[in-house]
């Protein structure tokens, strides 16, 4: 049995949308491209055929990967706003700067969008903490102290 992959409802919807797009739109287009390239003759010297074939292998691998992710995903719903949990938006103060992060699963983490994995050093430090709690996290610039300001 595979270990469930924690994910938010939005993250699961995004995976399902990507899978449907690949299966119903992009893969049929690629199969058509492969068919057209195949009809152009000598396959050993047909770079478009080779390229389409490689693209199809890559796409089929991604489709299989998405299918496994979706099958093994478990949507985690925040239980309350009294402590930081999976799916919560957490506003913290770092020195005099405020930042807001969402605690998400590994597959949907994106530091640029302030979505951090629950298993990242910051995510682990924040999990289970309350408003007013301070957490220390080792960063490349040294230890940073985060004070939890808001949980929603």
Token pair, residue 11, equals 């993250």
Q: Domain tally for the chain?
A: 2
What is the pLDDT at residue 47?
Answer: 84
Q: Which residues contact 78 (CB under 8 A, 6 or more apart)?
A: 85, 86, 87, 88
What is the pLDDT at residue 105?
Answer: 93
d(CA 69, CA 75): 12
What is the pLDDT at residue 43?
Answer: 67
Tell me, yes or no, whether 69 and 106 share the same domain.
no
Residue numbers of the domain that contains 135: 89-151
Residue stretches of the chain with pLDDT short of 70: 1-2, 42-44
Of the residues 75, 105, 130, which one is the last residue of a structural domain?
75
Asked whether the CA dihedral 3, 128, 90, 98 is positive or negative, the reply is: negative
What is the pLDDT at residue 42?
Answer: 67
Terminal Cα distance for the chain, rounded: 33
Tell me, yes or no, whether 96 and 65 share the same domain.
no
What is the pLDDT at residue 16?
Answer: 98
């Amino acid at each position: 049995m595979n270990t469930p992959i924690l994910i938010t409802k939005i993250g699961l919807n995004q995976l399902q949308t990507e899978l449907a797009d690949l299966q119903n739109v992009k893969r049929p287009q690629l199969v058509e491209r492969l068919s057209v390239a195949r009809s152009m003759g000598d396959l050993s010297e047909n770079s478009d055929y080779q390229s389409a074939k490689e693209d199809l292998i890559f796409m089929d691998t991604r489709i299989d990967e998405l299918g496994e992710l979706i099958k093994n995903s478990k949507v985690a719903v925040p239980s309350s706003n009294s402590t930081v949990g999976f799916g919560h938006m957490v506003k913290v103060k770092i020195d005099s700067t405020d930042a807001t992060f969402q605690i998400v699963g590994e597959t949907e983490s994106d530091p640029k969008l302030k979505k951090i994995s629950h298993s990242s050093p910051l995510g682990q430090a924040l999990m289970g903490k309350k408003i007013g709690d301070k957490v220390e996290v080792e960063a490349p610039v040294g230890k940073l102290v985060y004070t939890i300001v808001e949980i929603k």
